[in-house]
Amino acid sequence: MSRTQGLVLCALLAGCDSGTDPAQSETGGGTTDGTAPGSTSGAASTGAAQTETGQASGQGEEASEGDGSADSTGQSDSGCGVDPGFSGAAPGEVEIDGQARRFLLVLPEGYDPDRAYPFVFMFHGRGGDGPQFRTYNGVEEASDNNAILVYPDALPNAQQGGLTGWDLSANGIDVAFMDQLLADFTANLCIDETRIFATGHSHGGFFSSAMGCVRGETIRAIAPVAGGGPGAGCEGSVAAWLAHHTDDDVVPVGLGKIARDHWLENNECSEDTTPIDPDPCVTYQGCNDGHDVVWCEHTLEESFGPHAWPSFAGSAIWAFFSAY
């Protein structure tokens, strides 16, 4: 067994657990992080300063060996039928190119090892971390124990002023990190490999678009919030739900529209739209079957300003993912 697999299993298996029951979280929903031996919990957010580049922060400014192949149902043939020994949240880490990478894994309460669950990547913004993002996105609560979620931590990034941020390149360290997480989790958990999703805020929104671009054959749908991207060289297609504030003062709405237009072209949508819930979202007509594009340009006044995660996003994102 590789060190990577061993560390992932240490987050998954009861034998690595400290033996204490996780306490109920006061802020993030579900359970709090019970650190397992051999794993470390995510560091507290440093907070995120605005930049002039638009490659910008999360909402944390105010927050101090199976092959994983699937059968015809999409169910992993190697991770189902095995009780991982816990439910709720557990921190862990894997080694990528000699560097320890942290994540927070969240299993549904009452996890059923014989049920194939959707899997959601949750990407925090610049300067944040996974546990911080968990406190405000609302997707986990909306999923109501019907999905497996992972909150990875980005590394300090020189291009992001030394704050945590994602490597958006197709062959970069963070795409490799996500590949490893998905491979290890499908080998050890019961995951529906036809229902892999990604969402993120701000720089995490950029990264969710990037992952949809370079891993379009694996990821089914994405939901960037206050982000942009994804760049060129996309493989396959994904359904896309995007939200952006008209007056975003960190990542301008124009960058969100560039991302929207990329997916409209990629999915061969028309320019015709139909209003959908929640207001002010619209869905584009004529997209390739199963590859809808939803655009939610809003003017909500949130407590953290126009770059904040909108209050409607959590439930709307889960509703969008649930359609696939």
| CATH number of the domain where residue 84 is located | 3.40.50.1820
pTM of the predicted structure, to 2 decimals:
0.81
Q: Please check whether residue 4 is in contact with residue 11, taking contact to mean a CB–CB distance below 8 angstroms.
A: no
The secondary structure element, H or E, covering residue 4 is helix 3-12
Q: Which amino acid is at 76?
A: S
200 belongs to a structural domain = yes
Determine contact, residues 152/102, Cβ cutoff 8 Å. Answer: yes
How much is the pLDDT for 20? 30
Tens-binned pLDDT, residue by residue, of the chain (324 aa): 333 344 344 454 433 433 333 222 322 333 333 332 223 333 333 233 233 333 333 343 333 233 333 343 455 557 999 999 899 999 999 999 999 999 999 999 999 999 999 999 999 999 999 999 999 999 999 999 999 999 999 999 998 899 999 999 999 999 999 999 999 999 999 999 999 999 999 999 999 999 999 999 999 999 999 999 998 778 889 999 999 999 999 999 999 999 999 999 999 999 999 999 999 999 999 999 999 999 999 999 887 899 999 999 999 999 999 999
| The pLDDT of residue 75 | 52
pLDDT of residue 74: 52
Residue 234 resides in a domain: yes
Take residue 176 and report the two structure tokens written for it. Answer: 């490799």
Does 220 map to a domain?
yes
Cβ neighbors of 148 (< 8 A, separation 6 or more) are 105, 106, 107, 108, 117, 118, 119, 120, 185, 189, 191
Q: Which domain holds residue 230?
A: 3-41+56-322
Across 167-229, the runs of DSSP E, i.e. the strands, are 191-201, 221-225
Distance CA 323, CA 7 (A): 33
Q: Give the model's pLDDT for residue 23.
A: 27
As given in the structure block, the two tokens for residue 157 are 């990034």
Q: Is residue 31 part of a domain?
A: yes
- 51 inside domain: no
Identify the pLDDT of residue 30: 32
Distance from C-alpha of 267 to C-alpha of 29, rounded to nearest angstrom: 35
62 found inside a domain: yes
Bridge partners, 227 (sequence order): none
Residue indicated by tokens 């557990």: 90
First to last CA, the chain: 34
Tell me if 48 is assigned to some domain: no
Number of compact structural domains in the chain: 1
Give the DSSP H or E segment for 180.
helix 173-188
Q: Using alpha carbons, list the distances in angstroms from residue 251 to 54, 104, 111, 164, 299.
A: 4, 26, 38, 17, 14
| Residue 64 covered by a domain | yes
Query: What separation in angstroms does the CA of 230 have from each of 55, 208, 261, 286?
Result: 12, 8, 11, 22
Q: What residues form DSSP beta bridges with 75?
A: 192
**pLDDT score recorded for residue 16:** 41
